[in-house]
Structure 1
């Protein structure tokens, strides 16, 4: 996210800014997080807008189960090496399904709305944030209009490189 807490510019279409600030070799948190992943939960917006392509897959196309939160049931969709499973019934049901598929590994939650709902429901164990040296001033915030009580976090790890500050927190309450 940007230094001022935004994960996307106002138009939400330009993600190139993320790749402009690639981590250097001293930040291995991203690689470790990927190795610990067993499933991904993401929202349906990019699918509705036909923005999911083989060139823009979650975690570089890491071949693990992919669950899409949706209000409208549909058949699974294969894009490149990944198959996206569209699940109705709400965020809680989808996250539980992903946790079962992940087994002992972690579940990544992508998208501000899904992540925020997961936090509010108490279904998020950790937050991994990558803060980039850019200020947007406006756009789409990772956490906005939070409707629950404050959530305390315990810092697990912080790695700061010349381009990115990566932070990992455990949710404790």
Structure 2
């Protein structure tokens, strides 16, 4: 069975979104050069994605803004409100109401030997608190927001020890991969 990986881009001061959570252009201003293939490797290892429901509630999911550019892998949305699957562009999003533990369990089963990516602030924190995350892959961009949505804000658990597996630094991006020590 594959691993559960938090895979996100963040500012140097730890924010994954600007305060309004709508302006994502900053992510596309900095590109990795050919020496940083970590993001591509992570994508090739994926079999499923688990994400939160906020963007669906706010009708912010469009064919122009799909996880991993519309990479055709299984999509599971953690939600409290049952709804029919939603197809946007080439992807079908399955809404699961059983809680994050059951959603990740289902995603891992469906992904088989491939990994499951967790996208989003709340889902990432819940996964860490519950001990469901195996790795973190973070791409740090040379920008400081000062405020916004933090990746890690208030964990209701003991400190989580990490082991650095890999770090790649280019002129524009620093990519880091950590294993969660248990």
Question: What is the TM-score normalised by the length of structure 2?
Answer: 0.94
- In the alignment, the residues of structure 2 paired with residue 149 and residue 132 of structure 1 have an alpha-carbon distance, to the nearest angstrom, of 28
Following TM superposition, by how much is the alpha carbon of 1:51 offset from its aligned partner in structure 2, in angstroms? 0.6
Please state if 1:3 is matched with 2:16.
no
Root-mean-square deviation (CA), in Å? 0.6
Q: Report the equivalent of 1:71.
A: 80
Following TM superposition, by how much is the alpha carbon of 1:97 offset from its aligned partner in structure 2, in angstroms? 0.8
Following TM superposition, by how much is the alpha carbon of 1:79 offset from its aligned partner in structure 2, in angstroms? 0.4
Q: Report the equivalent of 2:177.
A: 168
Unpaired segments ≥5 residues, structure 1: none
Q: Report the equivalent of 1:152.
A: 161
- Count residues with an aligned counterpart: 173
- Pick one of 60, 75, 78 that aligns with 1:51: 60
Following TM superposition, by how much is the alpha carbon of 1:60 offset from its aligned partner in structure 2, in angstroms? 0.9
Following TM superposition, by how much is the alpha carbon of 1:41 offset from its aligned partner in structure 2, in angstroms? 0.2
- In the alignment, the residues of structure 1 paired with residue 107 and residue 126 of structure 2 have an alpha-carbon distance, to the nearest angstrom, of 15
Greater length-normalized contact order (CA 8 Å, ≥ 6 residues apart): 2
- In the alignment, the residues of structure 1 paired with residue 30 and residue 75 of structure 2 have an alpha-carbon distance, to the nearest angstrom, of 26
Q: Report the equivalent of 2:122.
A: 113
User: Which secondary structure state, in structure 2, belongs to the residue aligned with residue 97 of structure 1?
Assistant: helix
Question: What is the TM-score normalised by the length of structure 1?
Answer: 0.99
> Once superposed, which parts of structure 1, at least 4 consecutive aligned residues long, lie more than 3 Å away?
none
Following TM superposition, by how much is the alpha carbon of 1:77 offset from its aligned partner in structure 2, in angstroms? 0.3
